[in-house]
Structure 1
Amino acid sequence: MRTLVVSATKAEAVHVPSGLEVLITGIGKVAAASAVSRALAAGRSIQQVVNIGSCGALRDGHTGVFEVGTVINHDFSAAAIRALGYDVVDSLQVGDSDIVCATGDLFVTDTVVRAELAERAHLVDMEAFAIAWAAREAGVPVRIVKHVSDNADETALEWADVVDGSARDLGQWLAANLM
């Protein structure tokens, strides 16, 4: 199966096993959706997208690697748009796991924001929903695999110091599950 491994940054993909095709999108939803859409439209016969990356834990005790089952777009005013009479998709099922990842362009470091998001999700990142959306639009299956790098609090600002550990664990996951 021809797989495209997608990561926001080179730092998160540095330990991807050789032989796997990697796309670095840049940080945030717009960059991620644009890059994945371009890659899938290029006619390279991609059969599966696997998004890897670091994330914040919204609930205490979540550590390690998680395969996500549902992604939600947390910083989009879906309720307000629905109230105007428009249908909005702000949640996508991407797997069988019970793990929910909230995606937004907001870098979560505030404990109040963390607590509010924790009512709806386990993890938080900045690209997964957009990548899942682009893959869905292209009719390509997607898997979302995240490694907890912080607790979506002030420790998130230490990301540069811990990202290599996330990248190592994600590389090991890829070797065990895709090779």
Structure 2
Amino acid sequence: MSRYLVVSATRAEAAHIPPALPVIITGIGKTTAATAVTKALMETDRTGLVVLNIGTAGALRPDREGLFLPGRVINHDISAESLRALGYDPRDELALEGGDDTVLASGDTFVTDPVVRDQLAARADLVDMEGYAVAFACDALGVPVRLIKHVSDSADAGAMAWPDLVDASAQVLGDFLRELIDGGDVGSS
């Protein structure tokens, strides 16, 4: 039986998480997410633990809406090609077990520009600001992770309405976790 630790960037995204699940609120962005997750995992018995990173995402393509469990996540705002040219591996892409065929792009840039969105859409389906960092920290510490993302906007100027949109996504995310609990596959950490 797995034990779960739910990770969310904001309290708004975590508003409907069932009370039986432990939650960590990381703050926005890759640095705060990686730091908070690493700290939490270092202070937790990791035996049988699975991290569930829930949150909202922007759709990079018009046919993307609803709930996704990305099978790959990329760090989109690192100069990966330049680092490779210098002989370094930036590990800018991670495969995630148990995910679907969705690719999530994570970066510290809040995407609202249609040109940036279209460039990202060539590589990914969705965009967020923490998924890659959470996955990277979990990978470094040998803890399985699942990214669970709900599309809140189209990663365009409409994304600025996120505060008005987040609760609808939080309800869907909470329902997903409730179904997980009802399936009897949750333990406390």
Structure 1 stretches of 4+ with a deviation exceeding 4 A read: none
- Aligned-residue offset at 1:43: 3.1
Match of 1:53 in 2: 55
Match of 1:38 in 2: 39
Query: For this pair of structures, how many residues does the alignment match?
Result: 179
TM-score by length of 1: 0.97
Task: Write out aligned runs for 1:13-32 (5 A).
Answer: 13-32=14-33
Unaligned runs of 5+ in 1: none
Q: Distance in 1 between matches of 2:101 and 2:118?
A: 19
Residue of structure 2 aligned with 1:126, choices 121, 126, 129 = 129
Task: Write out aligned runs for 1:151-166 (5 A).
Answer: 151-166=154-169
Deviations 1:22-74 (A, max 9, x none): 00000000000000000000133361100000010000021111111000000
Larger proportion of helix:
1
Unaligned runs of 5+ in 2: 183-189
- Aligned-residue offset at 1:175: 1.1
Q: Distance in 2 between matches of 1:43 and 1:176?
A: 25
Match of 2:80 in 1: 78
Residue of structure 1 aligned with 2:173, choices 161, 170, 173 = 170
**Matching residue's letter, 2:54:** I
Q: Does 1:112 align with 2:108?
A: no
- Aligned-residue offset at 1:101: 0.2
Name which of structure 1's ranges 30-39 and 40-49 shifts more when overlaid on structure 2: 40-49
Name which of structure 1's ranges 84-93 and 7-16 shifts more when overlaid on structure 2: 84-93
RMSD: 1.0
Residue identity (%): 55
**Matching residue's letter, 1:158:** A
Match of 2:185 in 1: none
TM-score by length of 2: 0.92
- Aligned-residue offset at 1:18: 1.4
Contact 2:46 / 2:143 at 8 angstroms: preserved in 1?
no
Q: Does 1:135 align with 2:167?
A: no
Q: Distance in 2 between matches of 1:87 and 1:136?
A: 16
